[in-house]
Amino acid sequence: MKSILFFPDLTELLNQKVSKKIAPHLFLFCHYQPDQVRVFSFDARFCQGVMNLYKLVVDASIIGMLYKIAKPNKIVFDQKKLDGHIKTISMLRTVLGHNISEQNGTSDLQKQYESWLKQATGKTVIQNAEDYEPAVKILEQMGADICRILDQFINQAALRPERKEVAASWEETIFAFYKKSPGQKIFLGQMKDAYLSRCYAGSINIQKNRLKRKLACWFQSYYCQKQEEQIRNLHKILDVYGAKLDKNVCRQIQVEAEEEEHRLEEIKRKVASKLGVISTDYLTPYQYQEYYFLEMNQKLQDALLRMKKSGKGSMLPESLMQELIEKEFAEIHSEDF
């Protein structure tokens, strides 16, 4: 079997096992995609392997949160060893991918890295690329070990008599994963796909360098569009037909417009208050996007219930998140559609 450091095959097999043994809508890995840049020297493979392992255990999986499933369901697995691997991977990735300095209080990580590398390579001083070969092998073994532990976890979870409770804990863990920064990026990716598909369907050419703001404006429209359209329509009636309408009718339309304006302002105040913005005048589209993320967990739970009733779909983003987007943004307009 190819090493999980550089190929996703094992993650797909483990996901299939979860689907078969626990529940068909669950997953461990969310589209783990190792770096596709081909490298050959051992020093480059070492750096690439560290970054890929970090993707594996943090960015693209619920591995770091398995305790949320194991503890309430009394699932026994080698959690201590798994946690140790995750801690080591995080340390290696931090040193290789971030600024490390004594002034910034991160020099201890550099010492941990040097100690680990010395033990892995047997070298006090790295002199050439080949010196990293033993370290690459250790990373590969670490990846294989993680897969072994995960296989053990799935088998033990499948043995629990309370299968529904295990699945429920698994669902909550996936929701927790989606609440984190990687999950928000995944949702934005799904929003991007939905936005572009509508543009393409209408043969609309779009400047992709402006897409980030367009998506934020789409979130703003989700909260404000209904009231804004009502206000525009009511004022249009007054502008076009006001002179021909009875004064009482005009007054009633004006009252309705004021009520919609009040509702719109209440929405804005709610968003501003939650995010600590001192005035609704300072709200930007990106803050409506941020506010949506605060509500997203419950929205995803509701989407999962709808999927379960239909008997279709999974909790992977292209299924669960698209279910949510289709329901909530189907009637939300943009400057492009």
| pLDDT tens digit sequence for 113-153 | 999 999 999 999 999 999 999 999 999 999 999 999 999 99
* In the predicted structure, residue 202 carries a pLDDT above the cut 80: no
Q: What is the mean pLDDT of the chain?
A: 95
Lowest-confidence range among 196-205, 259-268, 307-316? 196-205
Cβ distance 44 to 139 under 8 Å? no
Counting the structural domains of the chain, the total is: 2
Measured between alpha carbons, how far is 170 from 72 in angstroms, rounded to an integer? 11
In a domain, 188, yes or no: no
pLDDT at 335 (0 to 100): 85
Q: What SS3 state is found at 191?
A: helix
Indicate if 122 and 227 belong to the same structural domain: no
pLDDT at 103 (0 to 100): 77
Q: What average pLDDT does this structure show over 173-179?
A: 96
Indicate if 125 and 219 belong to the same structural domain: no
In a domain, 86, yes or no: yes
In a domain, 170, yes or no: no
In a domain, 171, yes or no: no
Domain hosting residue 208, numbered range: 194-329
In a domain, 248, yes or no: yes
Indicate if 221 and 284 belong to the same structural domain: yes
Rounded to two decimals, the pTM is 0.92
User: Binning pLDDT at 50, 70 and 90, where does residue 102 land?
Assistant: confident
Indicate if 131 and 83 belong to the same structural domain: yes
In a domain, 3, yes or no: no
User: Binning pLDDT at 50, 70 and 90, where does residue 253 land?
Assistant: very high
In a domain, 322, yes or no: yes
Lowest-confidence range among 73-87, 169-183, 197-211, 268-282? 197-211
Indicate if 154 and 209 belong to the same structural domain: no
Q: What average pLDDT does this structure show over 280-301?
A: 97
* In the predicted structure, residue 106 carries a pLDDT above the cut 90: no
In a domain, 187, yes or no: no
Alpha helices in the chain (DSSP H): 9-21, 42-54, 67-73, 79-97, 107-121, 133-159, 163-179, 181-201, 211-241, 247-275, 285-310, 317-329
* In the predicted structure, residue 105 carries a pLDDT above the cut 80: no
| Maximum C-alpha span of the chain | 92
Percent of the chain having pLDDT more than 70? 100
